[in-house]
Structure 1
Amino acid sequence: MGYHPSVAEVILANVRPWGGEARDVVIRDGVIAEVVPAGTAHRAQGARIDGGGRLALPGFVNAHAHVDKSWWGQDWVSYGGEPTTQGRIAHERAERDRHGIPGVDGVVAVLREFLRHGTTATRSHVDVDLGVGLTGIEAVAEAAAVLGGAVEVEVVAFPQDGVQRRPGVLDLLDRAAAAGAASIGGLDPASIDRDPVAQLDGLFRIAERRGVGLDIHLHDGGELGAFQYELIIDRTVRTGLQGRVTVSHGFALGELPEPRQSALLDRLAEAGISWATVAPVRTAPLPWRGMAERGIPIGLGTDGIRDLWSPFGDGDLLRIALGFARLHGLRTDEDLTYAVELATGRAAGFVHRARHGIEPGARADVVLLDAQNVPDALVRVPRRALVLAGGEVVARDGELTL
């Protein structure tokens, strides 16, 4: 069965949005039209789906993925190469062709896993380099079309092999932006290109000229990382790109002493810079409370899933939210719920959605779980009882219906 966005009325009856009182969710043309007390919505046409009193959450938003790189669905690929960032880049370049990376089938396999686990929107970095050109972006677009838009995919054209050290990559990024990529990316301007000023100046010129966003991977720690944050802040303000720049990973932020950290948070907030994290183990916790108090958006992502960088990952963003909670020592119901909010409505801006929730006007992306409340769902990570994308059922009892 294919996915076709809903054109009829659907009533998702007897569900508990965010663990609250039971409600009926009225969906018209794939969009939530009303949320009313359970038992009060009356069907005019179309279908009625009994939610069985289950916990209802908005579809998950994956704010940092690499859907073009996975070998999901293929025979097991043993980890090889050197464990450094440069070593992973070299290993991937040497091995990707034999695993059909990038390819439509591989992207479809990953997006299906996203859907099965309740992710209905993602921002994905897609490699753009001298070896693959823009073919990865083309594969991702085709894969999203195969699934009929059940997962909405926003593309970041990503220079995984560097920018300045690879002449011609800036031109490819410019072409990708001109062709419709929502953002362009960068990678460790200091440690990969070893010329942070040149890399950032080149990226910001493209972003300013093409009207796209910027999403920059930054693994460098300590003061080297902090120095690059300052360069990014200065350029963001100077070019008027406030609200359109994201730092991904940004490990250094959690490593800095508190006075330095607080001063940087103030400047990041003023520049409207957002943060994407995959909450990896063995990294310093982010100052998430200070970020929340200043309105700095935080998005959660799966990063790569079973790719030539790492054999880990299953596409379940709720599990990433659990990792965030554990890394940051969250315990109270309020804080545990906040971790889930990061994976849903609070991440709407990462995929340019004006609203994303179980509320009128939002796309009807709803996930049902057998859980007492949101903290219970987070700590147990139960299978998804039902997933709706644009008002259509795409997964039931943990299995895709597509």
Structure 2
Amino acid sequence: MTSWTIANVRPWGAAPVDLTIDGTEITGVRPAGTARPDGESVDGRGLLALPGFVNAHAHVDKSWWGQPWVSYGGEPTTQGRIAHERAERDRYGIPGVDGTVAVLREYLRHGTTATRTHVDVDLGLGLRGIEVVREAADRLDGAIDVEIVAFPQDGVIRRPGVLDLLDRAAQAGATSIGGLDPAGIDRDPVAQLDGLFEIAERRGVGLDIHLHDGGELGAFQYELIIDRTLRAGLQGRVTVSHGFALGELAPDRQRALLDDLGEAGISWATVAPVRTAPLPWRGMAERGIGLGLGTDGIRDLWSPFGDGDLLRIALGFARLHGLRTDEELTAAVELATTKAAPFVHRERHDLVPGARADLVLIDAQNVPDALVRVPPRALVVAGGRVVARDGEVLLNA
């Protein structure tokens, strides 16, 4: 299809409209029945329409999705999971193109049309994982927009040579480079952050730092990241992933950090895991601190859980944070859609003219109803193409 119309849909539960799509872009939004399509018209049946979901924190290179069941093993700590993965990944063909394609297809089936994915870069793999993810995305012919963060899963400073790999990944087109628990894993937060920020500043890429350390140890590292962000002029280009400590701090300490994070333009990505402290999401929004939702790993050597459904992640966020009102429940879905645009370098991501034609149709009364029931996706459009219908992906790969 080049120019076509998806008729009679309700964007965000509002009055029915006809959406005109030309190539990969939404070009018109008119009251239902008033559009005069030049090409084909698809009946949206009055269904709820949402923008495609944006997965702001993923690990698509790690999954054993589609393979025989893999039982959980190893020690249940960050260091234990790293060691177990390194010991076992080759046995399960991780990273592998077929497994990555399988995960990306699950994303599309559930309506995710863009993802920011961390891809392991270490001394055993080199940059092979990045090559795998790119090949997998190519197999799906660009249906899902994939941005890559080169991720040092096994540490940075404690593994001499990893900084060089991250630098090479930045040269090879990774949009961001990652870090991992500068204190808890490397035991040298100053050295890790100095090395990462030097590459980011020199290569013009973003930074996305996994930070699991809690309490004051986590807060101390936020202060280091804020300081370096301001000194390097990288406002708006640094993300903290997980960042559990932010929800654990005393209110006054938390507010002061939020002020500084807002000044530095540092964003946050969370997977809203159970048994973690709720984030001060309202205070973050007030200060313009970007907050994105992600699936993290899916059926990998870290955890057997996950199915790629970002709407279910938004529901988990709503439950963890005690959201109840229609406004709050809608805000959780916005975090998984429009508000996540900066995580994949989009100026806009919504059902409006000029936006990429990514949308999801759901049989639901309104946005809160869709969130709490997590119904199947009736139709998924990605980049102007129908890629999934009634839970079935229509692409060959």
| 1:24 correspondence with 2:18 | yes
| 1:126 correspondence with 2:122 | no
Q: In structure 2, how many angstroms separate the alpha carbons of the residues matched to 1:395 and 1:248?
A: 30
Report 1:290-329 matches (<5 A).
290-329=283-322
Q: In structure 1, how many angstroms separate the alpha carbons of the residues matched to 2:79 and 2:104?
A: 27
- AA at the equivalent of 1:272: G
Q: CA shift at 1:399, angstroms?
A: 1.2
Q: State the partner residue of 2:107.
A: 114
Q: CA shift at 1:398, angstroms?
A: 1.1
3-state SS of paired residue (1:90): helix
Select 2:247's aligned residue among 250, 254, 260: 254
Select 1:102's aligned residue among 86, 95, 98: 95
Structure 1 residues 279-322: Cα deviation after superposition (integer angstroms, max 9, x where no partner): 00000000001001111010000000000000000000000000
Select 1:49's aligned residue among 12, 37, 42: 42
Q: In structure 2, how many angstroms separate the alpha carbons of the residues matched to 1:250 and 1:43?
A: 48
| 1:200 correspondence with 2:193 | yes
Q: State the partner residue of 1:36.
A: 30
Structure 1 residues 55-80: Cα deviation after superposition (integer angstroms, max 9, x where no partner): 00000000000000000000000000
Report 1:255-270 matches (<5 A).
255-270=248-263
Q: State the partner residue of 2:3.
A: 9
Query: What is the root-mean-square deviation of aligned Cα atoms in Å?
Result: 0.5
Q: In structure 1, how many angstroms separate the alpha carbons of the residues matched to 2:234 and 2:356?
A: 27
Report 1:225-244 matches (<5 A).
225-244=218-237
Structure 1 portions without partners, runs of 5+: 1-5
Q: CA shift at 1:390, angstroms?
A: 1.1
Q: State the partner residue of 1:345.
A: 338
Q: In structure 2, how many angstroms separate the alpha carbons of the residues matched to 1:49 and 1:354?
A: 27
3-state SS of paired residue (1:362): coil
Q: State the partner residue of 1:185.
A: 178
3-state SS of paired residue (1:51): strand
Select 2:361's aligned residue among 358, 368, 371: 368
- AA at the equivalent of 2:147: E
| 1:389 correspondence with 2:382 | yes
Q: CA shift at 1:30, angstroms?
A: 1.6
| 1:213 correspondence with 2:206 | yes
| 1:399 correspondence with 2:392 | yes
Q: State the partner residue of 2:147.
A: 154
Q: In structure 1, how many angstroms separate the alpha carbons of the residues matched to 2:34 and 2:105?
A: 34
| 1:93 correspondence with 2:69 | no
Q: In structure 2, how many angstroms separate the alpha carbons of the residues matched to 1:196 and 1:12?
A: 51
Q: CA shift at 1:160, angstroms?
A: 0.1
Q: In structure 2, how many angstroms separate the alpha carbons of the residues matched to 1:293 and 1:199?
A: 31
Q: In structure 1, how many angstroms separate the alpha carbons of the residues matched to 2:385 and 2:164?
A: 40
Q: In structure 1, how many angstroms separate the alpha carbons of the residues matched to 2:115 and 2:24?
A: 18
- Compute the TM-score of the two structures, normalised by the length of structure 1: 0.98
- AA at the equivalent of 1:318: L
- AA at the equivalent of 2:18: D
- AA at the equivalent of 2:29: V
Q: State the partner residue of 1:3.
A: none
- AA at the equivalent of 2:278: P
Q: In structure 1, how many angstroms separate the alpha carbons of the residues matched to 2:184 and 2:49?
A: 44
Select 1:166's aligned residue among 136, 159, 176: 159
Q: CA shift at 1:391, angstroms?
A: 1.4
Q: State the partner residue of 2:370.
A: 377
3-state SS of paired residue (1:199): helix
Across the two proteins, how many residue pairs are aligned to each other? 395
Percent identity of equivalent pairs: 81
3-state SS of paired residue (1:86): helix
Structure 1 residues 327-375: Cα deviation after superposition (integer angstroms, max 9, x where no partner): 0000000000000000001000000011111000011001000000000
Q: CA shift at 1:137, angstroms?
A: 0.1
- AA at the equivalent of 1:82: E
Structure 1 residues 7-40: Cα deviation after superposition (integer angstroms, max 9, x where no partner): x111000000000000000000120001000001
Q: In structure 2, how many angstroms separate the alpha carbons of the residues matched to 1:95 and 1:258?
A: 42
* 4+ runs deviating over 4 angstroms: none
- Compute the TM-score of the two structures, normalised by the length of structure 2: 0.99
